[in-house]
Structure 1
Amino acid sequence: MDDMIWDSVRVSRGWLDATNGVGDAELTCRILKLTEEAGEVAGAWIGALGQNPRKGVTHTRDDVAAELADVAFTALVAIESLGFEARSALAQCAAKVRSRIA
């Protein structure tokens, strides 16, 4: 992945640390933020399918992809907030998944 992504993850973590602190309550909120972002993915997908008859089609697949990217970025920030290097954690995860399917 591009270094801009990893730099943005670290800058975002630093901004959150400075703004909201670094205690367990703040870490809990950062982890729970993933659930909020995942809910936005679900809402966008429902909107892309037009599954709410009252609203009809309200989103596109591009919207869904953008929401999924928000989930991924939020997860990377949470990993960094726990004191781990997100790049390494993601690489380890990819290697684990790859070993299952290789």
Structure 2
Amino acid sequence: METSSWDSIDRLVGWLDGASTLPAGEERLLRLLKLTEEVGEVGQAVIGATGQNPRKGVTHGWEDVQAELCDVVVSALVALRTLTPDARTVFEDRLARIEARSLAVHQEG
């Protein structure tokens, strides 16, 4: 049986909900804040991949950056699914609008 990414997100949200001891509103806010943590880890990996910290040198590879970007995406989808059970439709509608808007600008130029 093939599992969709959204099925995985639903299972992760269910697992997080089951493990939470916080009120729903607090849990929602913390899942949104999780994005900030994950974006920071992307920045850390980029700095490490480019060796921009002279004290540390090269500490990461671009594969680490890719992994951290995936963590950002998963955290964002979990946060979105936490806000609405219709996360898939909300995301797909938004993506379609962004794509249409972006391609329209490209075709005008």
TM-score, normalised relative to structure 2: 0.85
Overall identity of the aligned pairs, in %:
48
- Name the counterpart of 2:96: 95
**Partner of residue 34, structure 1:** 35
**Matching residue of 1:11:** 11
Rg (Cα) greater in structure:
2
Q: What SS does the corresponding residue of 1:70 show, helix, strand or coil? A: helix
* Deviation sequence 1:37-83 (CA, Å, 0-9, x none): 00000000000110000100111111101100000001101111112
For residues 6-59 of structure 1, give each alpha carbon's deviation from its aligned partner in whole angstroms, at most 9, with x where no partner exists.
Answer: 111000100111111551111000000000000000000000110000100111
Q: Secondary structure of 2:4's partner?
A: helix
Paired residues, number = 101
- Structure 1 residue 100: deviation in Å? 1.2
SS at match of 2:63: helix
The runs of 5 or more residues in structure 1 that have no matched partner are none
- Give 1:46's aligned amino acid: I
Unaligned runs of 5+ in 2: 104-109
What TM-score do you get using the length of structure 1 for normalisation? 0.91
Runs of 4+ in 1 over 6 A off after TM superposition: none
Cα distance in 1 for partners of 2:100, 2:23 equals: 35
C-alpha distance in 2 between matches for 1:23 and 1:87: 21
Offset at 1:85?
2.5
